[in-house]
Amino acid sequence: MPEKPAIMPPVFRFAPSPNGYLHLGHALSALLNDEMAKAAGGRLLLRIEDIDITRCRPEYEQSIHDDLAWLGIAYERPVRRQSEHTEDYRAALDRLKAIGLVYPAFMSRGEVKRYVADHEAAGRDWPRDPDGAPLYPPIDKASPQAEAAARIAAGDQHVWRLDMAKALAEAGETPSFVETGPACAGTLALDPALWGDVMLWRWDAPSSYHLSVVVDDALQGVTHVVRGLDLFAATPVHRLLQNLLGLPAPVYHHHRLILDTDGRKLSKSQGDTALAALRAAGVSPLDIRRRVGL
Ligand code: GLU
Q: Give residue-wise pLDDT tens across range 13-28.
A: 999 999 999 999 999 9
- Which of 290, 294, 183, 160 lies closest to 231 in space, CA to CA? 183
Q: Which of 131, 207, 227, 269 to mutate to test the pocket of ligand 1 (most atoms within 8 A of CB)?
A: 227
Using the predicted structure, report yes or no on whether residue 242 has a pLDDT greater than 70. yes
Q: How confident is the model at residue 47 (pLDDT cuts 50, 70, 90)?
A: very high
Q: Closest ligand 1 atom to the C-alpha of 228?
A: 8
Q: Could you read off the pLDDT of 256-282 as tens digits, one per residue?
A: 999 887 778 887 766 668 999 999 999
Identify the residue with better confidence: 164 or 259.
Answer: 164
* Residue ID of nearest Cα to ligand 1 atom 7: 15
Q: Edge to edge, what strands does the sheet with 251-255 contain?
A: 80-81, 43-48, 11-14, 224-228, 251-255, 177-179, 186-188
Percent of the chain with pLDDT over 90: 89
- Cα 15 to the chain's mean position, in Å? 9
Mean pLDDT across the chain:
95
Count CA atoms closer than 13 A to 224's CA, side-chain side. Answer: 25
CA of 26: how far to CAs of 46, 166, 266, in Å?
12, 36, 9
Q: What would the mean pLDDT of 177-190 be, rounded to a whole number?
A: 97
Distance 17 CA to ligand 1 centre (A): 7
Domains and their CATH numbers in the chain = 11-102+161-291 (3.40.50.620)
| CB of 15 sitting under 6 A from ligand 1 | yes
Q: What would the mean pLDDT of 107-126 be, rounded to a whole number?
A: 95
Q: How confident is the model at residue 1 (pLDDT cuts 50, 70, 90)?
A: low
- What pLDDT was estimated at residue 267? 76
- What pLDDT was estimated at residue 291? 95
101 vs 245: CA distance, rounded Å = 11
200 close to 96: Cβ distance less than 8 angstroms: yes
Q: Which of 67, 208, 231 to mutate to test the pocket of ligand 1 (most atoms within 8 A of CB)?
A: 231
Distance 150 CA to ligand 1 centre (A): 36
**% helix / strand / coil in the chain, to the nearest 5?**
45, 15, 40
| CB of 257 sitting under 6 A from ligand 1 | no
- What pLDDT was estimated at residue 7? 85
**Helices (DSSP H) in 47-193: which residue ranges?**
58-71, 86-98, 109-121, 139-142, 145-153, 164-171
- Name the CA dihedral angle for 56, 85, 68, 255, rounded to a multiple of 10 degrees: 90
Q: How confident is the model at residue 53 (pLDDT cuts 50, 70, 90)?
A: confident
34 close to 1: Cβ distance less than 8 angstroms: no
Using the predicted structure, report yes or no on whether residue 201 has a pLDDT greater than 90. yes
Task: Give the containing element (helix H, strand E) for 255.
Answer: strand 251-255
88 close to 219: Cβ distance less than 8 angstroms: yes
228 vs 26: CA distance, rounded Å = 9
Distance 120 CA to ligand 1 centre (A): 33
Q: Closest ligand 1 atom to the C-alpha of 213?
A: 9
Q: What would the mean pLDDT of 173-192 be, rounded to a whole number?
A: 96
Distance 15 CA to ligand 1 centre (A): 5
Distance 239 CA to ligand 1 centre (A): 15
- What pLDDT was estimated at residue 243? 98
Q: What would the mean pLDDT of 40-57 be, rounded to a whole number?
A: 95
Q: How confident is the model at residue 181 (pLDDT cuts 50, 70, 90)?
A: very high
Distance 80 CA to ligand 1 centre (A): 14
| β-pair partners for 60 | none
CA angle 282, 285, 287 (to 5 degrees): 75
Q: Could you read off the pLDDT of 203-212 as tens digits, one per residue?
A: 988 899 999 9
| CB of 16 sitting under 6 A from ligand 1 | yes
